[in-house]
Amino acid sequence: MMRVGEIAVGRSGDKGEKLDLTLVALNAENYAWLEKRLTASVAQAAIARVMPGEVTRYEVPGLFALKFVIEGALPGGVYATLHAGLHWQKAAIWVLLDLEID
Amino acid sequence: MQERTVAAGAGFAGDRTEQAVALAASGKVHAIGLECLAERTIVPGLRAREIDPEAGYDPRLERRLKPLLHVAFSNSCRVVSNLGAANPLAAGAKIARLARDLGCSGLKSAAVIGDDVMALADNIDWEVDFEGNLLGAHAYLGVDTIAPAVEGGADVIVTGRVADSALFSAEPLPILVNHDDALAGATAIGHLLECTGQVTGGNFEMPDGGSLSAKDFANLGFPLARVFADGTAELGLLDGAPGRIDRLTCALQLLYEVHDPSAYITPDGILDLTGITFDEVGVNRVRVSGARFRGKPKTLKVSGFVQQPGFVADIEIGYAGTHALNRGQIAADTLRMRLDDIPQDHIRIDLVGVDSTLGLASLPPANRMPEVRLHVSARCPDAELAQIIEDEVYSLTLSGPAGGGSVRSERRPSLAVVDGLIDRNLVKTEIVWETA
């Protein structure tokens, strides 16, 4: 078992109703490990506990990066949220960083 | 090879003001971009403009430009900003007056007009159907609309809605050769710069929890980039400015909010960012190259704002001391019973400090939480329901678990952002000049 956040850094973003999560692995070996294991469906299962939406994964091997874009994750956009205050989604990357994978 | 140095002086309307002044004062910067217009920031501007035709630009314009204008003008550093918000025309006139007051005689300001496409609303192809009142519709303009102001020698260029990256790519535009890929490069650099501290070590943590110190965050340097004629660049900080620029901070910012990295859609081109490389050529100095151009979109993105009736009521009450977590959980369950007639998808009840951010994906709480806050947000069709929910939370102080207190509440208007597209040929822009 390895926590994703031990081998990658990450950041959350958004646009409209979409959530946009980026992970950048520390090196090529870490990237290969993540690329193989952190599939769209693994990410989907983790993210579904927090928000709705279909997950699409994009790979950028040259930057050791994976992106996960979740359609409809922020219904009505960030200002329509029922979370405490605004912009809870800035912390959403920890759903992936705290994921433990075999 | 020709080059232009461009810096980022603001990444949102309320960003710190002193870094822009330091960058302009360095004498090394040809243009400083101030990105001050988030999606929603334009809405208060629209409301202000309705009341006063001379208002509607960002109310922080004076606070931001007063310390900057003279320093920038005397160092031949152009200022490019979307501070114009809902009224760039009035902002241009205001800047000329401000410049006169500050003794910047001869300063030329240029306002870029035409992003407001409300009059073309029938031609906007909205992504979703919406109910409610459309407050405004603004197209994301490209760098081509700013270029005439650069060519005309404007000292300050003020816009409404433009692509954030265009605030930074406008300066190097005239020197670019092999135009398409070079423009893609300059646009990507703009994207790297537009969130200021996010590329210099802000909003960044290493796997071991390492980040900059509080002292460095408090004085965080904002980035500058030497942009070369081929659209490559070298990103850096002013000498002595605290911060961190490396492969990791650059990769996170490059990919920030771009969705598909092989087809990042901007008005200036669809960019393929997947071939970009970051070479660390020195301490906090990174060479950026490899952006590719994949065609120019025929449409512009439009951002619309829809006012829906009612509010989101957002209320909290705190519990502290021994058993605080238990009392917070009982209070939450009590409130769920009291408010069980509100539809499930219109209300959210959780504990701040436990699961208010990540819900079921939250880490387990400690057994002895020194304090927790119960939070409830609900979509309320009218003020009366908002008041009832606020009163129900306050009732917990008398008829709920012991020691509930520190209540706070707010009501936010129910505002939805809707995206659409418009044929770019329909959007006509112009430049309005003023001289101090």
ipTM of the complex: 0.96
> How many pairs of residues across A and B have Cβ atoms under 8 Å apart?
133
**pLDDT averaged over 10-residue windows placed end to end, chain A, 102 residues:** 97 93 98 98 94 95 98 86 90 96 92
Sequence-separated (6 or more) residues with CB below 8 Å from residue B366: none
The identity of residue B333, as a single letter, is D
The pLDDT tens digits of the residues spanning A76-96 come to 888 888 999 889 999 999 999
Which of chain A's residues have a Cβ under 8 Å away from the Cβ of B127?
16
Q: What is the model's pLDDT at position B169?
A: 98
Residue B411 backbone dihedrals phi, psi, to 5 degrees: -120, 125
**Which residues of chain B have a pLDDT value below 50?**
none
Instruction: Answer whether A86's CB lies under 8 Å from A78's CB.
Output: yes
Query: Which of B249, B256, B257 would best serve as a mutation to test chain A binding (most A beta carbons within 10 A)?
Result: B257
Q: Closest Cα partner for B328 from B408, B406, B410, B402?
A: B402
The two three-digit tokens of residue B310, written as one number: 């009612």
pTM value > 0.90 = yes
Residue of chain B whose Cα is closest to the Cα of A19: B257
Q: Which residues in chain B touch residue A49, judged by CB atoms under 8 angstroms apart? A: 359-361
What pLDDT does residue B276 have? 98
> What are the chain B neighbours of A22 within 8 Å (beta carbons)?
251-252, 255-256
CA distance A47 to chain B (A): 8
* Contact in structure between A49 and A60 (CB atoms under 8 Å): no
Q: What residues of B are in contact with residue A58 (Cβ under 8 Å)?
A: 259-262
Q: What is the 3-state secondary structure (H, E, C) of B97-136?
A: HHHHHCCCCCCEEEEEECCECHHHHHHCEECCCCCCEEEE
Looking up tokens 């306002």 gives B111
By residue count, chain A amounts to 102
What is residue B130's predicted lDDT score, i.e. its pLDDT? 85
Q: What are phi and psi of B369, to 5 degrees?
A: -80, 125
Chain A neighbors of B253, CB-CB under 8 A: 11
Taking each helix axis from N to C terminus, what angle separates B179-193 and B247-254, rounded to the nearest 10 degrees?
100
Going by C-alpha positions, the residue among B421, B412, B419 that lies closest to residue B308 is: B412
> How much is the CA Rg of chain A, to the nearest whole Å?
13
Domains along chain A with CATH numbers: 2-101 (3.30.70)
- Spatial separation of the C-alpha atoms in residues B11 and B110, rounded to whole Å: 21
pLDDT recorded at residue B308: 83
Domains of chain B and any CATH numbers? 3-300+419-435 (no CATH), 304-418 (3.30.70.1150)
- DSSP state for residue B162 in the 8-state scheme: B
- Residues contacting residue B166 through CB under 8 Å, at least 6 positions apart: B141, B142, B143, B145, B146, B187, B190, B266, B267, B268
Residue B428 buriedness (CB in 10 A; 0-12 / 13-18 / 19+): exposed
Place of tokens 């081109």: B269
Burial of A19 from C-beta contacts in 10 A (0-12 / 13-18 / 19+)? buried
A24–B347: do the CB atoms touch at under 8 Å?
no
* Minimum-distance CB partner of B347 among A15, A64, A82: A82
The whole-number pLDDT of residue A78 equals: 84
Cβ-defined contact of B207 to A6 (cutoff 8 Å): yes
